[in-house]
């Protein structure tokens, strides 16, 4: 692999941060409608939420334009990523993905016995799809694509990805993680979900944690062919991990279009602000399609994290291709100003 992550500072030492910009959380959420629904249904917490889960699945199926049997719920998308890795790699094999990529599925695959075949992102930070295709061999059990990608925030061309998924899924199943898709203005058009109706062997993961601001309420889902879901359902019932109030919160959140529109707008204003700070400092950055920005820094990652934490600002640090990088999540504008000031002080 070409990249490694420095441990977030608070892992060693819990600290109270003025600006928590290290976990790509939505600073505005959950939607007030989701909070009301969660509170309203907390007293029903003595009951299992199966009926309500089916209602949520119906609602998601309608939104995505797919059949309900292609949807599987999970307590956040992490659970679905991890369980997929466990099922697909129980007899070994290899996984092909970009490098750097979001590591959750890949790490569980490796722990289960898989070999990771990392394929360097292209110079424009998009997936090198021809190189990924060339890396597929008889032992490849899954291709993982995170689009937009974490930790780079970059997008891969839509038409190229549709073509790749359509063709390559005939050989190997493809898992597309769309956690940050909701931050795009034209998210629905950029999703790979429509390939499900064409019968393609793709799996698409989505989460309520990001644009919906429900990271702590734990709701995610996956869209895939029913035969594929049946394999994963051998080891998990998925929705069993989601609390009844969270199911109601998710349904309410889906109705609160105003909230997600507001998040998208404020997120993009904060990105512009961070770009202007970095431009002013003469720093480069990877243009972001997400709720975080990554940029190279001239300081060793651990020292940088310590200094930023001392300023009350939590960020993440990576080493990518022998360079140090900071990844900062978009918080409120006030938090981004704290970040800007801390960055100028620390890197001065």
- Judged by the rule CB under 6 A, the positions of this chain that interact with ligand PLP are 24, 76-78, 102, 146, 150, 177, 179, 207, 209, 215, 220
Q: Which is nearer to ligand PLP, 97 or 309 (CB)?
A: 97
Q: Which is nearer to ligand PLP, 94 or 291 (CB)?
A: 291
Q: Output the six-digit token pair for 256.
A: 């609160």
- Phi-psi region at 313: left, alpha or beta (left = phi > 0; alpha = psi -120 to 50): beta
Q: Which is nearer to ligand PLP, 331 or 340 (CB)?
A: 331
Residue 170 CB, shortest distance to ligand PLP, in Å, is 25
Q: Which is nearer to ligand PLP, 132 or 250 (CB)?
A: 250
What backbone torsions phi and psi does residue 325 show, to the nearest 5 degrees? -135, 150
Q: Name the residue number minimizing CB distance to ligand PLP.
A: 76
Per-residue CA distances from 234 to 88, 111, 270 (Å): 11, 19, 43
Residue 314 CB, shortest distance to ligand PLP, in Å, is 14
Residue 287 CB, shortest distance to ligand PLP, in Å, is 18
The whole-angstrom separation of Cα 80 and Cα 101 is: 17
The whole-angstrom separation of Cα 152 and Cα 101 is: 8
Ranges assigned E (strand) in 170-315: 174-177, 202-207, 220-223, 292-297, 313-314
Cβ–Cβ under 8 Å, residues 249 and 35: yes
Q: Which is nearer to ligand PLP, 117 or 316 (CB)?
A: 316
Which residues, other chains included, contact 49 with Cβ-Cβ below 8 Å and sequence gap of 6+? Answer: 239, 242, 243, 244, 247
Environment class of residue 257 by beta-carbon count within 10 Å: exposed (0-12), middle (13-18) or buried (19+)? exposed
Beta carbons within 10 angstroms of residue 197's beta carbon: 13
Residue 277 CB, shortest distance to ligand PLP, in Å, is 23
Q: Which is nearer to ligand PLP, 219 or 346 (CB)?
A: 219
Residue 329 CB, shortest distance to ligand PLP, in Å, is 9
Residue 209 CB, shortest distance to ligand PLP, in Å, is 3
Please state the separation of Cα 186 from the chain's center in Å: 17
Q: Which is nearer to ligand PLP, 75 or 301 (CB)?
A: 75
Residue 291 CB, shortest distance to ligand PLP, in Å, is 9
Can you name the residues that pair with 96 across neighbouring β-strands?
A: 117, 143
């Amino acid at each position: 692999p070409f990249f490694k992550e420095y441990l977030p500072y608070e892992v060693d030492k819990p600290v109270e941060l003025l600006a928590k910009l290290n976990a790509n959380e939505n600073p505005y959420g959950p939607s007030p409608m989701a909070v009301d629904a969660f509170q309203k249904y907390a007293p029903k917490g003595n009951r299992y939420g199966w009926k309500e889960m089916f209602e949520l699945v119906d609602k998601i199926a309608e939104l995505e334009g797919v059949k309900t049997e292609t949807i599987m719920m999970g307590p956040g998308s992490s659970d679905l990523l991890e369980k997929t890795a466990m099922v697909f790699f129980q007899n070994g094999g290899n996984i092909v993905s970009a490098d750097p990529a979001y590591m959750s599925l890949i790490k569980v695959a490796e722990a289960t016995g898989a070999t990771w075949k990392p394929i360097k992102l292209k110079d424009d930070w998009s997936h090198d799809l021809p190189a990924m295709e060339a890396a597929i061999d008889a032992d490849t059990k899954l291709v993982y694509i995170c689009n937009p990608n974490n930790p780079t925030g970059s997008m891969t061309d839509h038409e190229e990805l549709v073509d790749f998924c359509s063709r390559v899924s005939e050989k190997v199943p493809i898992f597309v993680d769309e956690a940050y898709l909701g931050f795009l203005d034209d998210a629905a058009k950029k999703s790979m979900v429509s390939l499900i109706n064409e019968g393609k062997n793709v799996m698409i993961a989505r989460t309520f944690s990001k644009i919906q601001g429900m990271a702590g309420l734990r709701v995610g889902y996956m869209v895939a062919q029913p035969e594929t879901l049946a394999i994963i359902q051998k080891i998990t019932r998925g929705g069993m991990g989601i609390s009844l109030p969270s199911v109601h919160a998710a349904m309410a959140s889906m109705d609160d279009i105003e909230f997600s529109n507001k998040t998208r707008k404020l997120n993009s204003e904060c990105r512009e602000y961070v770009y202007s700070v970095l431009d002013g400092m003469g720093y480069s950055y990877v243009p972001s399609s997400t709720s975080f920005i990554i940029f190279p820094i001239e300081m060793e990652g651990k020292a940088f994290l310590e200094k930023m934490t001392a300023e009350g600002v939590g960020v993440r640090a990576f080493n990518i291709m022998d360079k140090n990088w900071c990844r900062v999540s978009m918080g409120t504008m006030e938090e981004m100003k704290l970040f800007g000031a801390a960055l100028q002080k620390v890197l001065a």
